[in-house]
Amino acid sequence: MVRPAACLFDLDGLLLDTEPLHAEAWQQASSHFGRPLAAHELLALRGRRRHDCADQVLQWISNGGASAAPNRETLLAVRQPIAEALLIHAAPMPGAAELVEHCQALGIPMALATSSSKAAVALKASPHPWLSAIRVRVHGDDPLLRRGKPAPDVFLLAAERLGVDPRQCWAFEDSPAGVQAARAAGCRVHVLPPDHLSSEQRQELYPETERFLSSLEEIVGELQ
């Protein structure tokens, strides 16, 4: 197997098992304003920046006929304490630490390409010292990041900071928005979908994906 020029990693739902926790926080916040979220709506929020998610939830609340829909700041004031209390307990995804350590041992450059803010990444990463091996990071609130996923900007900026061609990079993603972003950047994309999706749902949400990973452990075994 030809080694990639670099590995570009998403964080939430890919390296850390945070997505159910994010979903719970959005569910509680939206329900607080009288608009519970459906499973497909929660899935649509995966991989996107916090403010982009908030704007989408606000639209759903408004469309639901709320008499006094909140603004972004009010919604996030409810959501953020819930999220922070949950996310500090996020566990690594199976094989995540091993893959990062394996790439480090092989000398493969790595970058984090995440929609999470710098402060949120620091919170979630604090119990996981193995993440310190990924020194190059593009956060959702990076001042040079113009657009969030599904736009390709986060992966293009990560590759630029590593000094590599994004077309020679492997990108690891779990969300439809993230997969779309990585593909638009020209990366070879490895998709780790949520395990509750059926094969039909996977094909619908991740079109043109020839192979789905069941665990990052698969890549550890293949990358030599």
In tens, the pLDDT along 139-173 reads 999 999 999 999 999 999 999 999 999 999 999 99
pLDDT-based confidence at 210, cuts 50/70/90? Answer: confident
Indicate the DSSP class of residue 93: P
**Residue whose C-alpha is closest to residue 158's, from 135, 177, 180:** 135
CA-based R_g, the chain, Å: 17
Condensed to tens digits (0 to 9), the pLDDT of residues 33-80 reads 999 999 999 999 999 999 999 999 999 999 876 667 799 999 999 999
Average pLDDT, the chain: 95
Q: What are phi and psi of 38, to 5 degrees?
A: -80, 165
pLDDT number for residue 69: 79
Confidence check: pLDDT of 109 > 90: yes
pLDDT tens for each residue of 86-97: 999 999 999 999
How many Cβ atoms from other residues are within 10 Å of residue 187's Cβ?
29
Q: Which residue has the tokens 């649509």?
A: 44
β-pairing, 6-9 vs 110-113, is parallel
pLDDT at site 106: 96
Residues designated as active site: 10, 12
pLDDT at 1: 61
**Percent of the chain as helix, strand, coil, to the nearest 5:** 50, 10, 40
pLDDT, residue 224, reads 79
Give percent of the chain above pLDDT 70.
98
Residue 96 and residue 198: Cα distance in Å, rounded? Answer: 23
At 76 the pLDDT is: 97
Q: Does the pLDDT value for residue 83 go beyond 80? A: yes
Q: What percent of the chain has pLDDT over 90?
A: 92
- Per DSSP, the three-state class of 166 is helix
Instruction: Please state whether the predicted TM-score (pTM) of the whole model is above 0.85.
Output: yes
